Amino acid sequence: MLNTVPDLQGAESFFGTLTSDSHKENRFSRVLAACFAKSSFVRKQVLREFHSVCRVRSRIANDEQWSCRLEVPPPKGMGGRIDICLVSNETPVFYVESKLQAELTISQLRRYRKQGVQYLIAITRNRPEVSRAQLKREGIFTLRWQDIHSRLASERPPTHVDRFISGSLTAYMEELGMAHRERVTMKDLECCRRLFSAVSSPENINGLSLRSGFMEIDWCLKLLGDLKAELIEIDPTFLKRLPQAWGPGYYSYENEDGVKYNALGWTQFKGPWNSKRPKFGCGFLFPSDKSDIRFYSSYGDHWKEREVAKLLSGSARSVEAVTRVVSSDWRRWR
C-alpha cells in the first residue's frame, strides 16, 4: 500500500504543508497569486506597496479588478517571460521579476525594459546585487520581499478569511527565508535570555523547549543586519570610514563586578582588530543578574546604553526604532 501520509517535517506554515519541493521562485509565485485572488486585504496591501515604490499617484479604485498573472511575456513579446504581472482594466501594469535564489542581473532587466515594460519591479530576498543607483538609472524599481511582509504585517486584516490568508502568507515567507518578523518584543528577548541562561547553566535546561529562543535570536540578528544596511544608506561614507566587519553575531563578556553579559551585536572597524583605531558597534545586552535587557551603541571611548523596553515601545518596526538612536549616535560621535 502506498504511504499517503505527507511528510510534514520542517513544514510549519499552512502553505508549507501544501506546496511541493519544486523550484522555490515558482512555488512562491503560485502561492502569492492564489492569495492575491482570494484576499482583498492582500491585494490592497501589495498594490499600495507597488504604487508607493513606483510613485504612481492614481488611487486604487477597485481592487477586485486586479489580477495576478504568472510567467507573462513582455509587451513587445520578443523573448523571455517575466515572473509576475499585476494587471487591471486600466493602467498601470506592474511587472515583477522575483529573485529568491538566483542572482539579479542588470542585462535581463534591461531586455525587459527595451520590450516596453514601464513599471518593472525587481524584488529580491536580500538587498540586490546590482546597486540601487544603477537600477534607478535604468528606470527599474526595487523592493525586498521583506517590504511586502512588512506591509502585510502593518495592519490588522478586516475579516477572518483575510487574517488567515495574510497570516499564512507571511508565515510562509518566513519559512522560506524571504522575510522575518520586524517587531521584536520584550517577550522575544526574554526567550533569548532564557536560552543563554540554559546553555551556560545545565541545571536550567529542564523545561526549556528545544526551539525556545533560537528563532528569537535569529530575528534579533536579522534586525541588527537590517539596522546596519539602513545606516549605510543614511551615511554612504560609513563603510569607507570603517570597511571591516564583525557580526551580526554572539559574544559574551564579564564586567568589573563579575556580572556576565551575553550579547548579540556587530562591530565595524578599520585596520587590525587590536589596533587603537576606534570601532563602532551596537547590539542587545542580556545581563545574567536578571537586570533590564539593554541596547548599546559604542564608538571608541563613547558608550551608550538604553532600556530596550522603552526603545521598542510603540514601534511596529523595531528596526526603525533602533536605527533612529544608532544613526543619531553615529552622527554625534564620528
Q: What's the alpha-carbon Rg for the chain, to the nearest Å?
A: 23
- Alpha carbons 42 and 162: distance in angstroms, whole number: 7
Q: In this structure, how many other beta carbons lie within 10 angstroms of the beta carbon of residue 184?
A: 24
Classify the phi-psi angles of 57: left when phi > 0, otherwise alpha if psi is within -120 to 50, otherwise beta.
Answer: alpha
The 10s digit of each residue's pLDDT in 202-221 is 555 555 554 568 888 998 99
Output the pLDDT for position 5. 35
Kindly give the pairing relationship between strand 119-124 and strand 67-72. unpaired
Beta bridge partners of 264: 250, 284
The 10s digit of each residue's pLDDT in 157-213 is 999 999 999 999 999 998 888 888 878 889 999 999 989 988 766 555 555 554 568
With beta carbons less than 8 A apart as the criterion, state whether 24 and 31 touch. no
The 10s digit of each residue's pLDDT in 14-54 is 666 555 555 777 889 999 999 999 999 999 999 999 999 99
- Judge whether residue 326 has pLDDT over 70: yes
Spell out the CATH class of 14-175. Answer: alpha beta
Per-residue pLDDT band for 318 (boundaries 50, 70, 90) equals confident
With beta carbons less than 8 A apart as the criterion, state whether 327 and 231 touch. yes
> Which has the minimum average pLDDT: 55-64, 249-258, 311-320, 321-330?
311-320
The residues spanned by each domain of the chain are 14-175, 186-333
- C-alpha cell recorded at residue 289: 543578574
Tell me which of 197 and 141 has the higher pLDDT: 141
- Judge whether residue 13 has pLDDT over 90: no
- Alpha carbons 55 and 139: distance in angstroms, whole number: 12
The 10s digit of each residue's pLDDT in 219-272 is 899 999 989 988 998 898 999 999 999 999 999 999 888 889 999 999 999 999
- C-alpha cell recorded at residue 102: 538566483
pTM across the whole model: 0.73
Q: What DSSP letter does each residue of 249-317 carry, written as one string? A: EEEEEE-TTS-EEEEEEEEEESS-TTSSS--EEEEEEEETTS---EEEEEETTEEEEEEHHHHHTT-SS
- Alpha carbons 224 and 247: distance in angstroms, whole number: 9
